[in-house]
Amino acid sequence: MADCLFCKIVAGEIPAKVVFGDSDTLAIADLNPVAPLHVLVLPRVHVAKLSELEDERLGGHLLQVARRVAKDAGYADNFRVVVNNGAGAGQSVGHLHMHVLGGRQFSWPPG
């Protein structure tokens, strides 16, 4: 999508601090972190939100990348993965992404 912020990051048109990348995914540091570890894991293909993801293999791979990012940062046993689906759930960029958070205590329920 020509106007999608994350598609532009994936294409290299907008710089980002890349934490991990492979042929299907890109993991980047969040510009406004809310925890010592705050990484966004996104698919390289444009999928607007989780409810539109039909590729089960890609969905599983995104979770495995989230796990790897947390492990590589030293938070293998204590991290949170958040996916906001739609504007009403707090999704601010219309490209599926997972927030991987670690390094501090999290409360429940999330805000």
Structure token pair of residue 109: 């329920």
The whole-angstrom separation of Cα 53 and Cα 37 is: 25
The whole-angstrom separation of Cα 94 and Cα 78 is: 28
Residue 46: active-site member: no
Identify the active-site residue in 38, 95, 97, 99: 97
Catalytic residue ranges: 97
